[in-house]
Structure 1
Amino acid sequence: MTITLLFIIFIACPLASTGAKWTYNGPDGEHDWSSKYPFCGGAFQSPIDFQTQLLRYDPTLPPIQVQNYNLSTNEQLTLGNNGHSVLLSLPSNMYISSLPHRYSAAQLHFHWGSSSLLTGSEHTVNGNRFAGEMHVVHFNSDKYPNISMAVDKHDGLAVLGVFIEIGEFNPAFDKFFKYINGIKYRDQKIQVPAFNVRALLPARLDEYYRYDGSLTTPPCYPSVLWTVFRKPVTISRKQFLALATALYASYAQDSAIVPLHGNYRKLQLTDSRVVLVSFKDGLHSIFSVASPFQRKQVIQKLLVGDLADLADEGLYQLLPKLSPQPGVDKKWKKTKNQGQWSQATQKHQWSNNKVPSNTGYSSSIGKKKPTPWYMGALGTDKGMCFVSLEENVIHQLERYHAKGLMVEALREVVFPDLNLRSYLNCRSDLDLQTIRQLIKERSRDEAVELEQSLTKAMLRQIRRQIKRHRNPNMETTTGHSQATFPKDYNSALTYHRPQRVEWED
């Protein structure tokens, strides 16, 4: 069934939560999150694997600067067990000063493995998982009064991620680890003396990974600017085991005791995102990110320029690659209705100037329409409220008796906007679905011309890659990763849209 979803007016709204039960495993585990929290099955989710081919060096990334992290021991912090992790409250006068907005601290928490599995970080580096990961959560205090108001906004949160490995004893972590027996059970809390929180972070704050992502727990709003430090911190094996064995996810009065460990989410699809890095030493074949000016040029040309000139001017290199990333089909299982769009299908869709029916949108030609939703991206900072979005989408779906399509509909509504914002900030590649939204108002002939130009450009790119493969000394194009080419080169001409994922435990 084709469902026309009205364009949503995003408004500020308070955080709303279903309060549904969730766990990492069992009947309420990850596989069930999206049924109660639809954004968990949506776009721009976290954590991800920092694969070398996703990395782009950005020389403009400044060292992370934190203020007021050295707290007075006269202050008291709340240490608690919420059944999912250990949380330490932080005062809002702690903040990050090196981001476009002021992001004030709210809390920090941990993800870890178990006594038998000493790997439990959420993010990974080329598939390698660390023993644990600490997240220091901040909210955009320039725009929102508290974290509850910020958590569902597209620019609401900034999280500092710290990898933890087992090594030397860490006295900074012992400042509150030594009180951990006071919060053995869910919802238990105690007061602990404050300390220098900066000592929990790596010595170097100038080397990190940066990307746009989400909360890693329900409701999984894609509202997080992630900064994950490159260098891990160490804790001793004894400290790790204290964390992994002393806590329970169940209440003290429960008859069945549930250990609290293995509290990390599985890796998510990259969704056309790239990962900016502030370093390039020790990494081979890492490319510099394209400038925001170049990316704005692409958007302007898509909106008002000659579409055929995009490829001729070399700007096709900032548009979607026509070949899939290697290994994607092996890692993810597609649902029944998710095929791959052939070149002929794409041309048919371009010629009709419509978004494919399963995206939840339709478009008519020749009608005068209001200012497109994307125009604010180049100037004004239009807000996105995910709670409001969810309420509007469910209202539309209920009209068509199609509430079961909630996850797919939300993903299709939010993906182009998130992708465009992230693309302009150099933290994603421009996706074909987003391009469709940008050129919906353009003529059919221009759309077909763009399709043909992209195909020709990709053929030229594949030929260059073949030559480079045969002659490795050939210079690569600065600022863009090398395209991968399959054995069947014709298969590279098939567009691959982001696929919704079914997780396998």
Structure 2
Amino acid sequence: MGIKAGLERWRSGAPSSFPAPGKRQAAPRGCAEGIKMHSRSLASVVVLQLAFCTVLRGAKWTYSGPEGEHHWSKNYPYCGGAFQSPIDIKSDLLRFDPTLRPIEVQNYNLSPDEQLTLGNNGHSVQISLPSKMHISSLPHRYTAAQLHFHWGSSSRPAGSEHRVNSKQYAAEMHVVHFNSDKYPNMSMAVDKSDGLAVLGVLVEVGEFNPAFEQFLKFINGIKYRDQRVQVPGFNIRALLPPSLDQYYRYDGSLTTPPCYPSVLWTVFKNHVTISRKQFLALATALYSSHTQDSAPVPLNGNYRKPQLADSRVVLVSFKEGKGLHGTLTATSPLTRKRIIQQLLVGDLADLADEGLYQLLPTHSEKLHTGKKKVKNDLKNQQTETLAKSKQQTLNPSLWKKSQTNRSVGKLGLAEDALCYVLLEQRVFHQLRQSHTENQLVHALRDAVFPELNLKSYLDCKSDLALPTVRHILRGRPTDEAFELDRSLTKALMNQKKTSTAINQIVPKTNYGSFSPASVSRRPHSQGYPHPWLLPMEWED
């Protein structure tokens, strides 16, 4: 099927009619047809079509070689942006959050009468999931869409995407859910900041796993890309660890293009096992190439390398265990709200003096501020967190009605979720006017980082980064803001551990060239608003 026909079907709302990713067509014809679909101004059409053409050119990606992960950002700018996944979950990133509840999943035990689609999309093995499956323990209902796997190779059985203190497991399973309270399907949710929630399960080679065998026994039917088979339903819950109360939680992204930072990650502490024979079925039986291709390409080693932490912290639902005895308790949402209020409308001189420690990363209990030595009272923080347990850490509307909400609008953090597609188009349009389109990756990172950092900070899943503080202070009196900036910079540099992280993961940025106005929302077409993201192409 040609791109013209695919665009016509997409415009009419048929999601599965766009050409398969492996069957690429010439971009110019598709772009010309796409221009006819819009009745907006010529400038808007040009921006939309340039973005669409870019995606068509970047439709093919791999994990290594000339189209490997180091080159993803050329066609998918967010892959080089902020808050990317996976990460190495190191002990110094952990913050205990006593408000994190055990994960509760509903309708995961499927009847054999229900038919599931098992497919090979060239990047992974994927199983479609019925919409009755959902997570019920988050502020919104997150409905299941699919699950898939990442794994190593027969010669190197280490292929998990997330690592724990640099340990890489043999494989990793992702159960992908979308926010069905706010969005009608996964395609509409994928580019929103609160759009997706993914359960990550680390897999080690060990004992035979009968639950995995329920679909692995059909794997020879999907040896090549785009092959699919129907498999009977089974108990999906049995693929997860027996206990769902111990996990890591952080804000991150899709681990495959287009890498939107739209994922609430839950990675379970306890791993599951599969036998070596079961692992080899994944690692040796599949190909990422089509049946008709002359040179079959094995499908293995399909994992992305760890990404920068970007001032993020990892919340943990447990405190016992090796390496966790000294884990700090996350500062409460109420405290963080007050800090932002003071940055926006409070006394900056006082903040630069006695209150400076509140702005510093929470790695250290004792921090020098230049004038005083301040000690964090962790016991008080934990008491305040428990007292505010009804205001869940994950509740983004915690300060919706406060004065802070109106002021923070200056950062572009509107009440509605960020839409990354529209943000990319806006930044691209601004760069195009100055003939600097090649700076799109860096400009997107600069534009989106303070919004993501502030949102994640208020949700207790990030420290407050220096570029975000500077961005907030742009509207404050120059002398006070300068004094606070200088004091904060000096304090950060005096922390050896923190200064290294700041230089590596929070580079100096220039936000002056971007409008801080909120991203305007536009109605999406019915069906799939992003035709390059098909049901079988979802990786995360």
What is the TM-score of this pair, normalised by structure 2? 0.73
Matched residue, 1:384:
418
Query: What amino acid sits opposite 1:451 in the alignment?
Result: D
| Equivalent residue, structure 1, for 2:525 | none
Q: Which amino acid aligns with 2:470?
A: R
Q: Tell me what 2:282 maps to.
A: 243
Q: Matched residues in 2 for 1:176 and 1:322: separation?
A: 44
Residue 360 of structure 1 is matched in structure 2 by none
In the alignment, is the contact (CA less than 8 A) between 2:352 and 2:483 conserved in 1?
Answer: no
Q: Using the alignment, how far apart are the partners of 1:129 and 1:434 within structure 2?
A: 32
Determine the structure 1 residue equivalent to 2:468.
434
Tell me the distance in 2 between the aligned counterparts of 1:383 and 1:494.
Answer: 27
Give the C-alpha shift of residue 383 in structure 1.
Answer: 2.1
Deviation at 1:30, TM superposition (A): 0.8
- The residue number in structure 2 matching 1:82 is 121
SS at structure 2 position matched to 1:317: helix
| SS of structure 2 residue aligned to 1:234 | strand
**Residue pair 2:310, 2:505 contacting (<8 A) in 1 also:** no
Equivalent positions of 1:387-426 (< 5 A) are 387-426=421-460
Partner secondary structure for residue 454 of structure 2: helix
Deviation at 1:284, TM superposition (A): 3.3
Question: What's the secondary structure of 2:474's corresponding residue?
Answer: coil
Q: CA deviation at 1:312?
A: 3.7
| Matched residue, 2:477 | 443
Query: Does 2:353 correspond to 1:319?
Result: no
SS at structure 1 position matched to 2:230: strand
> What's the secondary structure of 2:173's corresponding residue?
strand
Indicate conservation of the 8 Å contact 1:322/1:458, yes or no: no
Contact kept? 2:107, 2:133, Cα under 8 Å: yes
Asked if 1:31 corresponds to 2:39, the answer is no
Whether the 8 Å CA contact 2:109–2:235 is kept in 1: the answer is: yes
- Say which SS state the counterpart of residue 77 (structure 1) adopts: strand
Aligned partner of 1:168 in structure 2 is: 207
Work out the CA distance in 2 between the residues paired with 1:146 and 1:314: 45
When residues 204 and 138 of structure 1 are mapped into structure 2, their CA distance, relative to the original with a 3 A threshold, is same
- Structure 2 gap segments, 5+ residues each: 1-47, 365-405, 509-540
In 2, Cα distance between equivalents of 1:29 and 1:456: 39
Pairwise CA distance, 1:493: 13
Asked if the contact 2:86/2:304 (under 8 Å) is kept, the reply is yes
Structure 1 residue aligned with 2:333, among 292, 295, 320? 292
Equivalent position to 1:269, from 308, 322, 327:
308
Q: In 2, distance between residues paired with 1:404 and 1:218?
A: 18
Q: How many residues align?
A: 414
Matched residue, 1:133: 172
Give, in whole Å, the separation in 1 of the partners of 2:300 and 2:492.
Answer: 47
Per the alignment, residue 210 of structure 1 pairs with: 249
Residues 28-75 of structure 1 deviation map (CA, whole Å, 9 limit, x = unaligned): 101110001000000000000000000000010000000010111110
Residue 395 of structure 1 aligns to a residue whose secondary structure is helix
Distance 1:415 1:258, change over 3 A: same
SS at match of 2:475: coil
CA contact (8 A) 2:178 2:195 kept: yes
Aligned mates of 1:322, 1:196 — CA distance in 2: 41
Residues 1:431 and 1:188: Cα distance change in structure 2 (over 3 Å): same
Cα distance in structure 1, aligned partners of 2:490 and 2:293 = 65
2:147 partner SS: strand
Give the whole-Å Cα distance in 1 for the aligned partners of 2:268 and 2:285: 27
2:530 match: none
Q: Deviations over 1:222-263 (max 9, x none)?
A: 000000000000000000001100000000000011000000
Residue 371 to residue 296, structure 1, CA distance change in 2 (3 Å): closer
Displacement after TM superposition at 1:302 (Å) = 0.2
Structure 2 residue matching 1:33: 3-state secondary structure: helix
Residues 1:110 and 2:149 are matched in the alignment: yes
Q: Is 1:454–2:495 an aligned residue pair?
A: no
Q: Which residues in structure 2 correspond to 1:39-50 (within 5 Å)?
A: 39-50=78-89
Name whichever structure is richer in helix by fraction.
Answer: 2
Report the CA distance between 1:389 and its aligned residue.
1.1
Residue 192 (structure 2) aligns with: 153
What displacement does 1:494 show? 8.7
| Whole-angstrom CA distance in 2 between matches of 1:153 and 1:494 | 27
Q: Distance in 2 between matches of 1:56 and 1:149?
A: 32
C-alpha distance in 2, partners of 1:493/1:172?
A: 41
Give 1:26 deviation, angstroms.
1.1
Give the share of equivalent positions with the same residue, in percent.
67
User: Aligned partner of 2:283: which letter?
Assistant: A
CA distance in 2, matches of 1:279, 1:423: 20
Q: Secondary structure of 1:284's match?
A: coil
Shift of 1:484: 4.7
Aligned partners of 1:455 and 1:493 also within 8 Å: no
Secondary structure of the corresponding residue to residue 281 of structure 2: helix
* CA separation of 1:255 and 1:494: change in aligned 2, threshold 3 A: closer
**1:105 aligned counterpart, secondary structure:** strand
Whether the 8 Å contact between 2:202 and 2:272 is mirrored in structure 1 is yes
Map of 1:188 onto structure 2: 227
Is the Cα–Cα contact under 8 Å of residues 432 and 497 in structure 1 kept in the other structure?
A: no
Unaligned segments of structure 1, at least 5 residues: 1-12, 324-369, 463-482, 501-505
Distance 1:80-1:456 versus aligned 2 partners, 3 A rule: closer
- Alpha-carbon separation, structure 2, partners of 1:263 and 1:383: 30
**In the aligned structure 2, how far is the partner of 1:198 from the partner of 1:126?**
27
- Alpha-carbon spacing, 1:445–1:494, altered in 2? closer, same or farther (3 Å): farther
Report what 1:498 is aligned to: 506
Aligned pairs for 1:218-367 (under 5 A) are 218-282=257-321, 283-314=324-355, 316-320=357-361
Find 1:373's aligned residue among 409, 426, 429. Answer: 409
2:183 corresponds to which letter in structure 1? Y
Closer/same/farther in 2, CA of residues 83 and 492 from structure 1, 3 Å limit: closer
Q: Does 1:65 align with 2:104?
A: yes
TM-superposition CA deviations, 1:452-477 (whole Å, max 9, x none): 44367669xx6xxxxxxxxxxxxxxx
SS at match of 2:422: helix
Deviation at 1:308, TM superposition (A): 2.1
CA contact (8 A) 2:411 2:472 kept: no
Contact map agreement 2:128 2:145 (CA 8 A) in 1: yes
Task: Give CA-to-partner distance per residue, 1:71-98, whole Å, 9 cap, x none.
Answer: 1111000000000000000011100011
Q: Is the 8 A contact 1:44 1:212 kept in 2?
A: yes
Question: How far apart in 1 are the matches of 2:146 and 2:263?
Answer: 14
Q: Contact 1:209 / 1:227 at 8 angstroms: preserved in 2? A: yes
Q: 2-side partners of 1:49 and 1:421: how far apart? A: 22
Helix, strand or coil at the partner of 1:251: coil
Q: State the Cα distance separating 1:375 from its structure 2 match.
A: 6.8
Q: Tell whether the 8 Å contact from 2:212 to 2:239 is kept in structure 1 after alignment.
A: yes
Greater shift in the superposed pair: 287-296 or 444-453: 444-453
Instruction: Output the amino acid matched with 1:429.
Output: D
**CA 1:184–1:458: 2 relative to 1, 3 Å:** closer
Counterpart contact for 2:412–2:451, Cα < 8 Å: no
Aligned-pair CA distance for 1:322:
11
Q: TM-score, normalization: structure 1?
A: 0.78
